[in-house]
């Protein structure tokens, strides 16, 4: 087993303390609801775009964003359906997580 050679100095301990204090502030800071919704939306668009792109989907990030928002675009029907279905799966997983997080029985 690898055993690194190092010594814990006062400077290292101070930096660790600073990091822990900053983390505590971030963990306890409220997130503005409008920002939270925007972050969630962006995360879904990125997930859908890159998840389908890696499988060969040719739609651009902007096209996927419009589809996720419910707008219509022109493009390959297979690519459009793939994005819509992927978004539906992400929505279903979000619902499952909310059910699990609430302590309810999963379907």
The residues spanned by each domain of the chain are 31-101
The answer for residues whose C-beta is within 8 angstroms of residue 97's C-beta and 6 or more apart is none
State the average pLDDT over residues 84-90.
95
Instruction: Summarize the confidence of residues 57-81 as an average pLDDT.
Output: 95
Outline where 29-107 has alpha helix (H).
33-53, 61-68, 77-101
Please state the length of the chain: 107
pTM: 0.68
Query: Using 50, 70 and 90 to split pLDDT, how confident is the model at 102?
Result: confident
What's the pLDDT score for residue 104? 76
How many Å separate Cα 60 from the centre of its chain?
Answer: 19
For 45-73, letters b (16+ CB in 10 Å) and e give bebbbebbbeeebebeeebbbbbbeeeee
pLDDT digits (tens, 9 = 90+) for 8-66: 899 999 999 999 999 999 889 888 888 888 999 999 999 999 999 999 999 999 999 99
Nearest to 66 by CA among 50, 82, 83: 83
């Amino acid at each position: 087993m690898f055993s690194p050679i190092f010594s814990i100095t006062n400077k290292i301990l101070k930096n660790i303390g600073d990091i822990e204090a900053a983390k505590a502030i971030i963990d306890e800071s409220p997130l503005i609801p409008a920002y939270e919704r925007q972050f969630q939306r962006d995360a879904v668009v990125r997930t859908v775009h890159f998840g389908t792109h890696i499988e060969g989907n040719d739609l651009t990030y902007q096209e996927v964003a419009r589809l996720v928002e419910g707008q219509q675009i022109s493009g390959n029907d297979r690519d459009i359906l793939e994005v819509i279905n992927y978004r539906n799966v992400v929505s279903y997983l979000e619902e499952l997580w909310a059910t699990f997080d609430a302590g309810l029985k999963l379907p």
